[in-house]
Amino acid sequence: MSEGEVFHEKQRLELCAIHALNNVLQERVFTKETADDICKRLAPQCVMNPHRSVLGTGNYDVNVIMAALQSRGLAAVWWDERRSVQNLCLDKIQGFILNVPSRVSLGIVSLPLRRRHWLAVREVHGHFYNLDSKLKGPACIGGETELRSFLTEQLSQDVAEMLLVVQKEVDEDGTWLKPDDTRK
């Protein structure tokens, strides 16, 4: 990847959690094999692992994402959507991983089903990007104002969730949140 480029993995199988992790880290760190190893560590006695698809195609849960980030000295902070995204201290946040409803399609045919999908958002070279693996490439969101609008819109969807990707120390001291918001 040359300077100025934005790393972006595209969707394959049900590996959106892996793509979101790699996209938020801006490098290929995790693979299906590393995610499967994390699943085995999380549930060593289970024949049918509860942290991934029984078909072996991915569909990893939040526990896998959190363990993967911890292996890199990072933490995932659950965002309480009762708060305003205006309270985020963006300079302390490495990126965002969102879990949003997503349409299911077979080729060009869209089915009347909705599933959950992981996507990443982060700042690269002074601009925030939507790094959704279902997109053809990174989509520039813009600056802080546009990012806050984007996140608010994403979180307004039914059952959308957001994780803040931060350094472990930032999680521990809570500096991902502006000091005037005292609810933690």
Phi, psi (deg, nearest 5) at residue 102: -145, 140
Q: How far is CA 111 from CA 54, 58, 102, 135, 148, in A?
A: 22, 20, 11, 18, 31
CA 161 to centroid of chain Cα atoms: 10
Cα–Cα distance, 114 to 34 (Å, whole number): 27
Could you give the residue numbers annotated as active site? Answer: 16, 117, 132
Cα–Cα distance, 57 to 71 (Å, whole number): 22
Residue whose C-alpha is closest to residue 17's, from 69, 55, 54: 69
Q: How far is CA 102 from CA 35, 49, 87, in A?
A: 22, 23, 27
